[in-house]
Structure 1
Amino acid sequence: MKKILVAVDGSGPSMVAARLALELARATGATLTAAYSVAPLVVPGEVAFPVMSDLLAAEQTRGQAVLEDVVKALGAPDVRTLLLSGSPAERLAEVATQDEYDLVVVGSRGRNAVARVLLGSVADRLMHICTRPVLVAR
């Protein structure tokens, strides 16, 4: 194993995934990349472009802060970071395939089946669309 990609979003489950991914990277000598995806903004009605632009900039700033916090919390300055734009599952799958990651690690929020159907799940979606192996950490 040479390359591991871990999805992070600042949540507890994503930190569990990041810690597991770091353990696997250290055990195998793989490089580790933490990725945060800025999801498309969905707002009701018409919103002025400057407002949308400000919201997007704020979310990108938050994403960069999450990535920095993850690297700091892991105590591993050699962890690479990647700030993506787009639907998280789709972008992670795309990057994993394009950059030939050997493994994608993602956290699970532990929702029941009904909640996953109603609310969706990045982990569930990623498992279905990613052509690279996906490990869901709990």
Structure 2
Amino acid sequence: MAKDISRWFSSIGGVVAVLMPKGLCPICIAASGGMLASFGLGFLLVERNVRWLLGLTLAIGLTGFILSARRHRRWWTLAVGVTAAVTTMLGRLLLSNLVLYSGMVLLIGAMGADLWARRHPWMPLVQIRLRRGA
């Protein structure tokens, strides 16, 4: 059960983090506001709430990247995930759409690389086993 949860942990946090800034797009604010209010999530339209929730979902995604990198031993996916999370949060705090969307694209790439690393585990070409005491 715990293995299944950790398997999708990074993906869930990453997807929610990528979708969160879309609720504040000036073009679709009315549609997003109506949809969020119908689900009882109208508080997401307040800027300071979105900032904290974005940070929380990025932290959940990074926790998933850490667990996944420990399992498949490809630490570069964690490095890309951390870079993407920092870039996304920095773009949100600086109100720079270019930085924000670059971070989101990088976050999607990190999720894809992490899923690829899970499907293609690293295997050593040669395994050397030594007996103890021999």
TM-score class normalised by the smaller sequence: 0.3 to 0.5
Higher strand share: 1
- Of structures 1 and 2, the one scoring higher in RCO (CA 8 A, sep 6+) is 1
For the pair shown, the structure with the greater C-alpha radius of gyration is 2
Give the TM-score, by structure 2 length. 0.35
| TM-score normalized by the length of structure 1 | 0.34
